[in-house]
Amino acid sequence: METVRLPRAARREQILDAATRAFARSGFTATGLEDVAAEAGISRVILYRHFDSKTDLYRAVLDRAAARLRAQGEADEYGRSTIPTLVRSAAADPDGFRLLFRYAAREPEFRDLVDAFAAESIEIGRRQLAPRITDPVWAGWAARLTFTVTVEGVIAWLDAGRPDPDSAAERISRAVRGIIEAAS
């Protein structure tokens, strides 16, 4: 296998891209470093120059997916652009989105990243819903459910082949509005 020499940062991104595809295809447990190296078109030696273990590599993939998602989002509040931005982010990196919210959420070793993201999102939602939903229990319920429905709605949209991307965010938003109305 002949490998083209790349700058370190470019090689790392190449490996992360390949690892994202490989892990999304087979999951963390079933994906070996040799699978990632083959997907990237490099040797395991080059892979080990960048990552100490499969766990380190997977964590880097998840961290990158989370960072990309956070970079697209709004900092301390949700607005009309939140769900469209989430849909665009998922469309741009569907494997990373699925790894973060579907696969890592089921893996105890990596769940902390997803739990932190969810807790932050739910707290923002709870704060924003509090003036509209005066019962704090129902406001908390609605904040949790809107987060879950939004993420699962985006994953279902990805899994369905991304139908009608121009209306996907509005359809998910209508489901979220229904939850808020039910809790009010």
In the numeric block, the tokens 């490099």 are attached to 42
**40 CB contacts (<8 Å, ≥6 apart)?**
14, 15, 17, 18, 19, 47
Does residue 122 lie within any of the structural domains?
Answer: yes
Domain limits for position 86:
75-183
Report the pLDDT averaged over residues 77-89: 86
Residue 141 lies in a domain: yes
Look at residue 51 and tell me if it is in a domain.
no
Residue 67 has pLDDT above 70, yes or no: yes
Q: Is 10 domain-assigned?
A: no
The set of residues, in sequence order, having a beta carbon less than 8 Å from that of 107 and lying 6+ positions away, is 28
Residue 65's pLDDT band (cuts 50, 70, 90): very high
Examine residue 28 and state whether it is found in any structural domain, yes or no: no
Q: Given this model, what pLDDT does residue 76 score?
A: 62
Which range has the top average pLDDT, 5-14, 100-109, 174-183?
174-183
Residue-averaged pLDDT of the chain? 91
In a domain, residue 24? The reply is no
Q: How many structural domains are present in the chain?
A: 1
pLDDT at 1 over 80: no
Residue 23 domain-assigned (yes or no): no
